[in-house]
Amino acid sequence: MDYEKQYALAAKSRAIYGSRITSYEYLELSRKQSVGQVVAELKKTARYKNAMRQISESRAHRGQIELIVEKTVFDIYLRLFRFMAEDANGFGGFLIRKKEIEVILNTAMLINSGDIDRIIACLPLYLSGYLSFDLTAFAGIKNYDDLLKILKDTKYQRHLKALADTRNQDFNLDGFAVNIYGEHYYSLLKLIESRYKGELKKKLRDIIVREITLLNWSSAYRMKTMFNTQNDEIIKLLIPGGKRGEISEMIYDVNPENTMTKYLRSKLLKDNNEIGESKDMLIRKASYRYFKKELTTSGYGIIVMYSLIRLLEFEQQNITTVIEGVRYSLPSYEIEKMIVS
């Protein structure tokens, strides 16, 4: 991509970020008493007013709203991706490949739980035609063998077959997720190595390695402190490609809280007063700030675009948080604490 196109891509991405949900709008959303009121408030926002127009406030439900928000983010991505004029197998196809993983994992989870009837309702049909497999065929899935047939000749088949080839025990969903996300990030790093040069190559590689590392910190900490997972098993469930030294120290520490706090203070925190918040929230906030900085300061269009999509994913997660908080009648100040912006 030449300099002029890089510059234009960065400018377009920053303009889109300008339509983000503001702190004031999040405050208003968190004060609502029903999902219908949340929809009414979203109809006032620059980002979602058109997309939400079709929803009846009296009949709105969580799944419907989340699907529209997801589609809005994907449509933004598609506009930028088409502007890049890059094939889906290049680095710019990152969100398409991530969506493939989300569809496969969600379907595997529903099979695992025996909740087969929900597969159709959960299909993001707006992705039809963009994925490397037939999304509409997922409507007929009854078991893992059906899923395997649909994923035949895709890069996902071997991971699924290796773990689903056990008829008398539960499907290892965690191991499967690590394998396919690991391959996703490995592919991104290979593309960076082969298609980019100089400072841009280094910066893109740093962004992906940092993303993997923070995902591993978050998942390892939860497994260690919330689920009492064995140390060796935690190591197996780390996504390859990230920095592991301090994570391993935390995993094998009898007091992982100390190692995690030390890492957060030295590498991530903007303000030591934040240390009282949950570790997962601190990592999410640090990640948000990092991508916001890249969006506003980077001179490379592809980095600005990638940062924008990650920030929009945070916005998407925030809306889900608000809906859940309102559904369960949480006080607005509790909902606000869980919003990353």
286 HSE (CA, 13 A, CB side)? 26
Q: Place 273 in a pLDDT band, splitting at 50, 70 and 90.
A: low
Segment 116-124 mean pLDDT: 94
Domain assignment present for 77: no
With a pLDDT cut of 70, the percent of the chain lying above it is 95
Q: Let me know whether 96 and 184 are in one domain.
A: yes
Q: Let me know whether 96 and 179 are in one domain.
A: yes
Q: Let me know whether 232 and 247 are in one domain.
A: yes
Query: What's the pLDDT at 80?
Result: 96
pLDDT at 16 over 50: yes
Domain boundary among 216, 238, 268: 268
Query: What's the pLDDT at 266?
Result: 84
Query: What's the pLDDT at 168?
Result: 43
Q: Let me know whether 117 and 205 are in one domain.
A: no
Residue 66: count of CB within 10 angstroms of its CB: 16
* Least confident stretch, 197-211, 232-246, 250-264: 250-264
Q: Let me know whether 208 and 187 are in one domain.
A: no
Query: What's the pLDDT at 325?
Result: 97
Q: Let me know whether 189 and 237 are in one domain.
A: no
Distance CA 127, CA 248 (A): 38
Residue 174: count of CB within 10 angstroms of its CB: 15
Distance CA 54, CA 122 (A): 19
Domain boundary among 205, 233, 268: 268
Query: What's the pLDDT at 20?
Result: 96
Distance CA 118, CA 269 (A): 40
Please indicate whether residue 202 or residue 277 has the higher confidence score (pLDDT). 202
Domain boundary among 149, 179, 195: 195
Q: Let me know whether 200 and 261 are in one domain.
A: yes
Domain assignment present for 159: yes
What is the DSSP-derived secondary structure letter of residue 288?
H
Distance CA 291, CA 187 (A): 21
Tokens 């912006």, located at residue: 341
Segment 260-280 mean pLDDT: 76
* Least confident stretch, 41-55, 70-84, 103-117, 250-264: 250-264
Q: Let me know whether 206 and 144 are in one domain.
A: no
207 HSE (CA, 13 A, CB side)? 26
Domain assignment present for 107: yes
Angle at which helices 245-252 and 198-225 cross, to 10°: 0
Q: Let me know whether 110 and 185 are in one domain.
A: yes
Domain assignment present for 15: no
pLDDT at 238 over 50: yes
Q: Let me know whether 207 and 144 are in one domain.
A: no
Domain assignment present for 61: no
Query: What's the pLDDT at 52?
Result: 95
Q: Let me know whether 101 and 162 are in one domain.
A: yes
pLDDT at 169 over 60: no
pLDDT at 58 over 60: yes
Distance CA 153, CA 109 (A): 22
- At 134-163, the pLDDT tens digits run 999 999 999 989 999 999 999 999 888 776
- Please give the model's pTM, rounded to 2 decimal places: 0.94
- At 74-96, the pLDDT tens digits run 999 999 999 988 877 899 999 99
Domain assignment present for 259: yes
pLDDT at 51 over 60: yes
> What's the alpha-carbon Rg for the chain, to the nearest Å?
21
Angle at which helices 256-263 and 198-225 cross, to 10°: 150
Q: Which domain holds residue 97?
A: 91-195
Distance CA 322, CA 328 (A): 10
Q: What angle do CA 224, 226, 228 make, to 5 degrees?
A: 50
Query: How many domains does the chain contain in total?
Result: 2
Query: What's the pLDDT at 91?
Result: 95
Domain assignment present for 52: no
What tokens does 255 get? Answer: 């007091």
Domain assignment present for 204: yes
Distance CA 248, CA 259 (A): 10
Q: Let me know whether 109 and 155 are in one domain.
A: yes
Query: What's the pLDDT at 32?
Result: 97
Query: What's the pLDDT at 265?
Result: 82
Segment 208-222 mean pLDDT: 95
